[in-house]
Structures are given as structure tokens and as C-alpha cells.
Amino acid sequence: MMTMMIKYVLAGVAAGAASATYLAFYYQPILLNGAIHAAIFASGLVAMYLAKSLTAKKAGAYVAGALPVHLAIHFVVIRDLPQLIGASHLLLNLPSLP
């Protein structure tokens, strides 16, 4: 049973790395690349859904593997998330409200 969960975690790691790496090489501010990027990330979940083997435990293992790798590539390689986080805090200027 544990080896099956490790397979889902590794599949998530592969999907998270592939989707973020795709965006690293094709980073342009167009919506199409974001959609492809999201589709690669979710491809394992979609495959499990279509095979009728998707459970909460499998989805959790998949996302637990995918998300840390995916976010690490965003922060370290692409370096776009720190900019987005900083921009959102700069745009939220509460003292300037009437």
C-alpha cells in the first residue's frame, strides 16, 4: 500500500516539475501558456479521474508531491512568484484610502 502512495507522489513530482519547467522555457504573459502550464500540472489527476481510480488519498499524495517541486521551480528558476507577491502587497495601500 505504501509503495502505491509513493508512486502517486512521484507522479506528482514529475508533473509539478514538468509544468513549471515548461513555463520557465516558454514564459510569456499570454493566457495560453498559463493554461498549458495548468493542464500539465493537473494531467495526473485527470488521468486518474478518467480511469475511475481517483480518491482523496491519491489526489492528496499527487498534490503533496507536485506542489513543493512546482513552487520551488517558480521561486528559484522562474522567479515570478516573489514579484507577484511583492506587487500585490505594494498595490494594497490601505492608508491612501479615503
pLDDT digits (tens, 9 = 90+) for 25-77: 776 666 677 777 788 888 888 888 999 988 999 888 888 888 888 878 777 77
Global confidence as pTM: 0.68
Q: Cα–Cα–Cα angle for 13, 28, 90, nearest 5°?
A: 90
Asked if residue 48 belongs to a domain, the reply is yes
Q: Cα–Cα–Cα angle for 37, 40, 44, nearest 5°?
A: 150
CB 15 within 8 A of CB 66: yes
Domain extent for 70? 2-93
What count of Cα atoms within 13 Å lies in the side-chain half-sphere of residue 95?
1
Asked if residue 98 belongs to a domain, the reply is no
Asked if residue 20 belongs to a domain, the reply is yes
Tell me how many domains the chain contains. Answer: 1
- Tell me the three cell numbers of residue 6: 509513493
Asked if residue 12 belongs to a domain, the reply is yes
Separation CA 53–CA 36 (nearest Å): 24
